[in-house]
Chain A
Amino acid sequence: MQPVTIALAKGRPAKQSIDLLKAAGIHFEDFHEKTRKLVFFNKDKTLRLIFLKGMDVPIYVEKGAADIGIVGRDNIIETEADVYEILDLGIGKCKFSVAGKKGSFLPDSQTLTIGTKYPNIAKNFFEKRNQTIETVKLNGSVELAPLIGLADYIVDIVETGNTLRENGLEVLADIETISTKFIVNKASFVTRSNEIQDVLKKLEQVVGVG
């Protein structure tokens, strides 16, 4: 029997997810924070944990390369992955916002240039306001874009707002709140339902059902 594969976003959010799995009684013994390994197994090899870039987690799960994913909803919306978003894990809470230079405002009757790691989310938000935008897809240091003049505004994840403040920016509009989700591949959900329900039930007991 193949192990059930759980995909996790590597980096900072991984720690919280691993703690949550631990609390649910799911242990990956050889995992420690400084490891460079990307694949881990639990003791009886029924579960396999893999570490991916956040944006890749929904893709792996949608295609069935991973059965389960633990990932921020930002990545799910941006990739528009067709998966079951079955449980809100209540961790990694933050929000999507539009930000611009301090003291500026968000005009609603002109085409705006938006710098963002999340062009789909930006497009959907402004579409609802009936506003046309151009997006510039960036991969990091998004806060720089309005300062250097690459874009008028940015769409990004805001946790505390510190990074924005330190770069002379502020939130102009909130798009939506996001948190970490437990997602499942639609085929695995039926073909491996016992194994997946087992993991799901354990996590539900820790986070409570919403």
Chain B
Amino acid sequence: MRNKQLLHSMFYPEQFAKKRHVIHKLTDRFAKFGYQQVETPVFENYDLYNDVQGTVNTTDMLKLIDPSGEVLVLRPDATIPITRHYTNLQNLETPGRLSYVLDIFRSTAEERSRTQAGVELFGERTPEADAELIALAVTSLNEIKIPSFKIEIGHATFYKELLHEANLNAIQQKQLDQYIQSKNISEIVPFLKELNLDPDLIKKLRKIPMLYGDTSMVIKEAENIISTDRMREELDYLSDVYQLLQDYHIESYISINLGLINHMNYYSGIIFQGFAEGLGQPIMMGGRYDYLTHTFQQQTPAIGFAFEVDLLANLLYEMPEKTEVIELLYESAERERAFILAEQLRVFNKKIITRAAGESGSDLKAPNIFVKSKKSIYSNQKEQREFKTDQELLEWFLRKDVEKCNL
């Protein structure tokens, strides 16, 4: 039992202010690219996730049983319910652009829940759509001023095309994925030899983990291992996306890694991950999932990504802007006037706490406004000002704001 421990850092107002800032910037950015925000239910049917194979590990889901005996799960992912929702729409809008900010629940994570902000683009399978999403991700990270980051682009099926004739079983496939994604070249070759694979195929497979870095170099190297028409198409597609990214002027944020593997099995084309300097885990993940809609009797290509909001919030060292809270004290006879003044100040976006003044003046906390009969006094650590009317005080505040804006 971890009783009473404060596991959640968002308990602290400064911390939460950063998180809110990140969410605000992201949703604003998503909206500017034409994405409409939606919400999915917290409680989902267990079968929804059980039916879509190879997505969320069933043991990772937090389950509960409702009074009728039905098994529910706490939303372990946003993409699947949003896809189901989209395919259920009567009048499909194509392309469909949806975004979300939702808590995701998993039993494996230390905190059990984390906030993801992401987008899904339905109905388009073009390099333009893929590049748009990557550009959206890059500009979003710039918007929240993440100092140094990279987006790593890979492909979910490119290397798997090579394995069509190899007939690996599930355990062998998993082991090979593990070697490839950890770039463990010294163990890949003995492993493949033991499987009695064709020497030419082994030669190609051992190159996969090394296909990373400079894009034009990687694409040239990848030409050498192409063995099917499908691989040719996918590589040309990838190269088209890269050219689009150059026109977005964001190629300096991009790194190619054809050994990238995502454990979400529904990915079918380009996949990508975002990394920030000094943070071990990805801050963003996404990719193309053209066949997920088939689960819901639709054939709509789709692509999406999700940011890890809590990680992004922790990357912000200081709050971009912190406005002070002003305490407004009043003598009991001036209470009504004080409440009106407080509300007028709030109209100017001031943060006001009202409080009856005590007997002595010793309970004054700067900054404050003291409402007395026929006058009010503003004071902070540096200065003190007296105003004959409330109007005077309001005008002074307004002037101060204008000056600040002009600075």
Residues of chain A at the chain B interface (Cβ within 8 Å):
2, 61-65, 82-88, 185-188, 190-193, 197, 209-210
Contact of B255 among A63, A84, A193 (CB under 8 A): A193
10 A-B pairs with least C-beta separation: A64-B280, A88-B186, A187-B275, A191-B277, A190-B150, A85-B184, A210-B186, A84-B183, A63-B280, A190-B255
Q: Is the CB of B275 within 8 A of A191?
A: yes
A130 CA to B70 CA in the complex, in Å?
Answer: 34
Instruction: Report the count of interface residues on B (CB-CB < 8 A).
Output: 22
Interface residue ranges, B against A (CB under 8 Å):
148-150, 152, 182-187, 189, 213, 255, 257, 275-282
Point out which of A61, A62, A186, A192 has the most chain B C-beta atoms below 10 A from its C-beta.
A186
CB-CB under 8 A for A86 and B278, given A190-B150, A191-B149, A191-B150? no
**Contact of A192 with B185 in the complex, beta carbons under 8 Å:** no
Is B186 a contact of A87 with CB atoms below 8 Å? yes
In whole Å, how far is A66's beta carbon from the nearest beta carbon of chain B? 10
Which of A61, A85, A191, A197 has a CB less than 8 Å from the CB of B276? Answer: A191
Establish whether residues A210 and B280, one from each chain, have CB atoms under 8 Å apart when the complex forms.
no
CA distance A96 to B48 in the complex (A): 43
Inter-chain contacts of B184 with A (CB < 8 A): 85-86
Pair B183/A187 contact, Cβ less than 8 Å: no
CA distance A67 to B57 in the complex (A): 30
Q: Which of A2, A85, A187, A188 contacts B282 (CB 8 A)?
A: A187
- What are 9 pairs between A and B in contact, CB < 8 Å? A64-B278, A85-B182, A85-B184, A85-B187, A86-B183, A88-B185, A187-B278, A191-B150, A197-B213
Q: Chain B residue with minimal CB distance to A89?
A: B186
Q: Which residues of B contact A61 (CB under 8 A)?
A: 280
Give the CA-CA distance A84 to B260 in the complex, in Å: 11
A85 and B183 form a contact (CB under 8 A): yes
B280 touches which of A88, A187, A192, A209 (Cβ 8 Å) = A187
Contacts of A83 in B (CB 8 A): 182
For the complex, what is the distance from the CA of A209 to the CA of B278, rounded to whole Å?
A: 28
